[in-house]
Homo-oligomer: A and B are copies of this chain.
Amino acid sequence: MRQWKVAGPAMPEKCEMFDSGIFILYNILRNIIINRLQEGRKVSLSARKVYMTEQNNAKTEEGKIISPVVIKRLPRYYRYLSELLKNDVVRISSKELSRKMNVTASQIRQDLNNFGGFGQQGYGYNVEYLYNEIGKILGLDRTNNVIIIGAGNLGQALANNQEFDSNGFRIIGLFDVNPRLVGMTVRGVEVYDIDSLESFLEDHEVMIAALTLPGSKAMKVANELADLGIKAFWNFAPVDLDLSDDVIVENVHLAESIMTLSYRIHSKS
């Protein structure tokens, strides 16, 4: 809940009287609300909701609403914990973890408190336990079958990525229209003709479809897949997929990412 963090000094320097007053009062109220949200017991759920629904939300199993910025940070915690596990680290304090990850210890505590905490005063976190718990929150304790639509370089790169395997994402098929690619295998995974999608989906339970095909074709294919029951898309095509509300889309827009980088380069100079 980063946006609840108190910004530096409450009193802006060289500020007009009226503005300073507003800022101070605003910050005081913000602190009260932060504390109450953190305590979790005094503030009623509906009040929490009013704030939280500002930002496309996610919920925990108990119905608690978690900000998407927190969710985005969980995989990073998970990565650091997996490295600690590899190095046989048994426990870690939020302070040490914060130094490693370059975030504040209070942010770590705040983030994890959303899910019940996992830490113990004076002990810190048990690495393996925390790793497993975050894994469960992210749904990595189950196998998620993935198909990749588009067996070009990008599709093949995804199929070759061993990091996905080790996190329970099992790529079970690539699909393409190009007859030269059909029949090939990438790390043991076959490339099928895209026309066989429907029969493939009858035989296999698929959780996620990754779309690594041109923007011009992505929407049509996504619609067909959604009709066949796919409810989650990992979209690399440079288009916004307009699908029904019960379908989840996670975009990786590479051109937008490099443009953001370019902005940061050129706005600096």
Task: Check if A167 sits within 8 Å of B255, measured CB to CB.
Answer: yes
Q: How far is B253's CA from A74's CA once the two chains are assembled, in angstroms?
A: 13
Cβ-neighbour of A161 out of B102, B248, B254 (below 8 A): B254
Interface size class of A (residues with CB under 8 A): 35 or more
**Residue A58 lies at the interface, judged by CB distance under 8 Å to chain B:** yes
Closest to A238 in B: B163
Task: Check if A161 sits within 8 Å of B58, measured CB to CB.
Answer: no
Interface membership of chain A positions 131-159, coded 1 if the CB is closer than 8 angstroms to chain B and 0 otherwise:
00000011110101010000011101110
Closest to A166 in B: B255
Cβ-neighbour of A22 out of B33, B58, B74, B169 (below 8 A): B33
Which residues in chain A, 46-62, are within 8 Å of chain B measured between CB atoms? 46-47, 49-51, 53-55, 58-61
**Residue A25 lies at the interface, judged by CB distance under 8 Å to chain B:** yes
Interface membership of chain A positions 17-34, coded 1 if the CB is closer than 8 angstroms to chain B and 0 otherwise:
001101101100110110
* A residues lining the B interface (CB < 8 Å): 2-3, 5, 7-9, 12-16, 19-20, 22-23, 25-26, 29-30, 32-33, 36, 42-44, 46-47, 49-51, 53-55, 58-61, 71-72, 74-76, 78-79, 101-102, 137-140, 142, 144, 146, 152-154, 156-158, 160-161, 163-164, 167-169, 207-208, 231-232, 234, 238, 240, 242, 248, 250, 252-268
Enumerate 26 A-B pairs (CB-CB under 8 Å) in ascending A order.
Answer: A2-B55, A7-B51, A7-B54, A8-B50, A19-B44, A19-B47, A22-B29, A23-B50, A26-B30, A58-B263, A60-B267, A61-B267, A74-B260, A78-B259, A101-B240, A102-B242, A137-B267, A139-B266, A144-B265, A153-B154, A157-B157, A164-B255, A167-B258, A234-B258, A250-B261, A252-B254
